[in-house]
């Protein structure tokens, strides 16, 4: 079965056929490196990682770029706050701090390494080339030293976001990088900067710096030199950012820019939009500092469908941890089981096929995970039946099934952190819970009786600041 994806531009599910057989070329809008990225940002990066892993699982080669916006209003403001006469070198030093932090965060979440991480400041010539073309073709004009894109000249403007163009203010302009989404105006391609500004380039368009939208168009052209298969981003980028990318690229090169646009929905926190003033704003680092496990955060962001709004709560994070522990525990159990018993006769091949089929259906992760948990349940019962024994070939095949799932889930590499729990048989965990309940009720006789049962089974109770756990004696 081929992949089917929902294309934001056509508003339809489409069968996916790469432009070049066997190879998928993807561009994903990355962060503006002016601060630490928040968990809403990481939802979008976990989604592009999911897309990439699914395509690879189906046998495609993937070439993917994720850009770093390292010059814009916010990065410049940050560099100036650090040093009043900051220039391009200081801007780079400032953005490097957050770029490095971003890469550490991607690793913490086990997001794969992509082929390209282009930086905007290293692609100024590619941006100028597009502006040259737009100027020659009459799509761009100068005003007060800056160059603007005239949306009135582009007859197909609005085709991605399907915006209502009837209230377009012709000839009025936005000079800022981000602007009011209701108010459609010409956008800036090249911004003139005052002569004293050191965070600018001297070009044929004067002393200035690029607008935000031109960066992505230029980096896509430079890296892929032609149309790409998939462009991803969060839904908040559809307008104006992606609309403007299409306008610039298609007017400059007169060819289709992107075959399929895929957008990931918002992450809400406790049902509300994340915002610093509401006190519900979390960077990944905030959550890790609070002791939350990166695997739980990865799993939480991955487990829902990317086109549905996701509501972040701490209970949700707990549930994610619980679910991923079930998978890891079963995997460790298979890994450590003895050789013996008889054939388990489980539909290992069908689970593998079903898992991929669900993902090929617009990356339906909830249904793919249902397949995984069906497998986990059946494998655990087989191990119960055979007292933790599998034949040599069953053991190999079951482990290979887990590896197959994990090429998308990416959670087994965290298993070291969960190995201690995994060794404890479930009935002993129940005994521990009962013993703790007895202690809480000050029923010391019952608590001691349960402790002795646990000890007799070869485990001791360890007190930690998170609570109690069992360890093999």
End-to-end Cα separation, the chain, in angstroms:
51
CB 243 to Zn ion: min, Å: 11
Which range, of 113-121, 139-147, 152-160, 209-217, touches Zn ion by CB under 5 A? 209-217
**Stretch of residues binding Zn ion (CB under 5 A), selected from 101-109, 212-220, 327-335, 434-442:** 212-220
- 192 vs 258 by CB, closer to Zn ion: 258
**What's the Rg (C-alpha) of the chain?**
27
CB nearer to Zn ion: give 238 or 470.
238
Q: Is 263 helix (H, G, I), strand (E, B) or coil?
A: strand
Return d(Cα 427, Cα 197) in angstroms, integer: 69
Half-sphere exposure of 145 (CA within 13 A, CB side): 11
3-class secondary-structure state, position 51: helix
- Please tell me whether residue 424 binds Zn ion under the rule CB under 5 A: no
Could you say which residues in the range 32-91 bind Zn ion, by CB under 5 A? none
Q: In this structure, are residues 108 and 289 in contact, taking their beta carbons and an 8 Å threshold?
A: no
Nearer to Zn ion, 7 or 415 (CB): 7
Single residue of 216, 247, 412, 447 touching Zn ion by CB under 5 A: 216
Among the residue ranges 197-205, 213-221, 355-363, 457-465, the one whose residues contact Zn ion (CB under 5 A): 213-221
Least separation, in Å, of the C-beta of 220 and Zn ion?
9
Q: How far is the CB of 114 from Zn ion (least distance, A)?
A: 14
Q: Which residues contact 344 (CB under 8 A, 6 or more apart)?
A: 379, 382, 386, 390, 391, 394, 398
- Find the helix or strand (DSSP H, E) in which 385 lies: helix 365-385
CB of 226 to Zn ion, least distance (A): 18
Give, as ranges, the residues between 335 and 364 that touch Zn ion (CB under 5 A).
none
Alpha-helical segments (H) within 225-291: 243-253, 284-289
Residue 244 vs 360, nearer CB to Zn ion: 244
Minimum separation from the CB atom of position 72 to Zn ion (A): 11
Binding residues with Zn ion: total (CB under 5 A): 2
The span of 21-29, 190-198, 307-315, 436-444 binding Zn ion (CB under 5 A) equals 21-29
Q: Give the residue, chosen from 9, 16, 24, 29, that forms a contact with Zn ion under the rule CB under 5 A.
A: 29
| Other beta carbons within 10 Å of 424 | 18
Closest alpha carbon to 105 in 41, 47, 178, 169: 41
The smaller minimum CB distance to Zn ion, of residues 66 and 359, is found at 66
Binding segment for Zn ion (CB under 5 A), chosen from 26-34, 75-83, 249-257, 274-282, is 26-34
Of the listed pieces 210-218, 378-386, 392-400, 434-442, which binds Zn ion according to CB under 5 A? 210-218
* Closest separation in Å from C-beta 245 to Zn ion: 6
- Residues 80 to 119: which contact Zn ion by CB under 5 A? none
390, β-bridge pairs = 339
Assign residue 231 a region: left if phi > 0, alpha if psi is -120 to 50, beta otherwise?
beta
DSSP 104-142: HHHHHTTPPPPSB--BGGG-HHHHHHHHHHHHHTTSEEE
By CB under 5 A, name the binding residues for Zn ion.
29, 216
């Amino acid at each position: 079965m081929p992949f089917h994806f929902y294309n934001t531009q056509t508003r339809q599910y489409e069968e996916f056929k790469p432009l070049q057989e066997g190879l998928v070329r993807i561009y994903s809008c990355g962060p503006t490196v002016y601060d630490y990225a928040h968990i809403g940002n990481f939802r979008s990066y976990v989604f592009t990682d999911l897309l990439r892993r699914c395509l690879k699982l189906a046998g495609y080669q993937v070439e993917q770029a994720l850009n770093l916006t390292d010059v814009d209003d916010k990065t410049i403001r940050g560099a100036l706050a650090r040093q009043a006469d900051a220039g391009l070198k200081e801007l780079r030093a400032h953005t490097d701090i957050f770029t490095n932090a971003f890469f550490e965060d991607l690793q913490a979440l086990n997001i794969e390494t992509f082929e390209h991480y282009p930086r905007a400041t290293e692609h100024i010539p590619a941006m100028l080339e597009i502006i040259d073309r737009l100027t020659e073709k009459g799509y761009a004009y100068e005003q007060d030293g800056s160059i603007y894109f005239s949306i009135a000249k582009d007859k197909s403007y609005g085709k991605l976001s399907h915006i209502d163009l009837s209230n377009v203010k012709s000839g009025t302009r936005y000079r800022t990088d981000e602007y009011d989404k209701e108010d459609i105006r010409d956008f800036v391609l090249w911004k003139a900067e005052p002569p004293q500004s050191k965070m600018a380039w001297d070009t044929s368009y004067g002393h200035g710096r690029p607008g935000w939208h031109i960066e992505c168009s230029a980096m896509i052209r430079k890296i892929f030199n032609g149309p790409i298969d998939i462009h991803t981003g969060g839904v908040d980028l559809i307008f104006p950012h992606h609309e403007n990318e299409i306008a610039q690229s298609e007017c400059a090169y007169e060819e289709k820019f992107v075959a399929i646009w895929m957008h990931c929905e918002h992450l809400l926190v406790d049902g509300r939009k994340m915002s610093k003033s509401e006190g519900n704003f979390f960077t990944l680092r905030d959550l890790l500092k609070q002791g939350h496990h990166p695997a739980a955060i990865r799993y939480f962001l991955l487990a829902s469908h990317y086109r549905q709004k996701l509501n972040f709560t701490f209970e949700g994070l707990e549930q994610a941890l619980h679910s991923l522990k079930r998978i890891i525990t079963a995997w460790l159990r298979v890994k450590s089981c003895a050789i013996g018993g008889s054939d388990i006769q489980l539909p290992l091949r069908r689970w593998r096929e079903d898992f991929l089929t669900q993902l090929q259906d617009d990356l339906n992760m909830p249904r793919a995970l249902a397949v995984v948990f069906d497998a986990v349940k059946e494998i655990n019962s087989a191990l119960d039946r055979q007292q933790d024994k599998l034949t040599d070939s069953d053991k190999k095949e079951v482990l290979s099934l887990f590896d197959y799932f994990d090429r998308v889930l990416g959670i087994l590499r965290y298993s070291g952190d969960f190995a201690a729990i995994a060794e404890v048989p479930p009935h002993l965990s129940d005994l521990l819970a009962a013993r703790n309940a007895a202690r809480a009720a000050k029923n010391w006789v019952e608590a001691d009786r349960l402790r002795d049962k646990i000890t007799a089974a070869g485990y001791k109770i360890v007190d930690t600041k998170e609570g109690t756990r069992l360890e093999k004696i």
